[in-house]
Amino acid sequence: MIKSKSAKVGDWCFVIVCILVSVICVVPMLNLLARSLSSTEALIKHQVYLWPKGWNFEAYSTVLSDMKYVRAFFWTVFLTMICTLVSLTMTTLCAYPLIFENLRGRSVINIFITITMFFNAGTIPNYLLMKSLNLLNNPLVLIIPSCMSVYNMIIMRSFFYGIPDSLRESAEIDGASYFRILVSIYLPLSKPVFATLALFYAVGRWNGYSDALMYVNKEIFYPLQLFLYNILNNINSVEVATQEGFSSPGLTESLKAAIVMFSTIPILCIYPWLQKYFIHGVTMGAVKE
């Protein structure tokens, strides 16, 4: 098919926009990587942009030599895996029944679930609720309160709507139970949306620290982001002393960059494995309500 001139111009404009967006996303990461690997002298003189100058791994060795960081890293990996699994299970169990038109109170349930997207009790009532449930300083407080996102549930429910009803009806004729239909038909056909939502939940848990900041006081349960947040606060608290010559300002900036890279790279490594499902899962979930 031969494209018109206006269509070709539109394609080129789209390509240019995509390139600009990619550059906007990649350049800050390259700058942080360069700063984390550069010498203190180059950082003090503001000579580092996109390529390291005076290669120096002192910032990385400083962070990795702290066993608290290593423990926080593996704890966060474990916590992310558990939260993702629990969240996908809860989202599936909520979305699957809502696709049946004969479910009693289906419209009311949908309304109540949707309301939670717009209204929240607030920080203090949530804290009092966690306290009354004896979840403070408990690792479960990092899992249970955020175990399901209504937005993600709507995406999964819409994806289930896109699966032909004839498949479910044929299984019902053969005597399959609702659970058997879910396991044998819906779950095998829902890999794209599961991969998409798994990425959403994993990124949300990996980047989360506010819940741990409010509900957890035991350092052993600190997720990686809260641990790195405390490190950055400690670095900022000594910047006055740094300016007076008690420590190196270049090393301070290098440590900040290394900390950000440590918290970002692991979750970025997951995306290439889920990329082939990502777009398909999001678009299929938006086809039908």
DSSP 96: T
Supply φ then ψ for residue 100, to 5 degrees.
Answer: -90, 120
At 258-285, the pLDDT tens digits run 777 877 877 777 777 666 666 555 555 4
How far apart (Å, rounded) are the C-alpha atoms in residues 211 and 108?
30
At 174-195, the pLDDT tens digits run 888 888 989 888 988 888 888 8
Query: Cβ neighbours of residue 229 under 8 Å, at least 6 residues apart?
Result: 209, 213
Query: What is the CATH number that goes with domain 65-285?
Result: 1.10.3720.10
Q: What is the pTM of this model?
A: 0.78
How far apart (Å, rounded) are the C-alpha atoms in residues 273 and 206?
17
Would you say 59 and 251 are in contact if contact means Cβ atoms under 8 Å apart? yes
Q: pLDDT higher for 90 or 102?
A: 90
Distance of CA 112 to the CA centre of its chain: 26
Would you say 159 and 195 are in contact if contact means Cβ atoms under 8 Å apart? no
Distance of CA 204 to the CA centre of its chain: 3
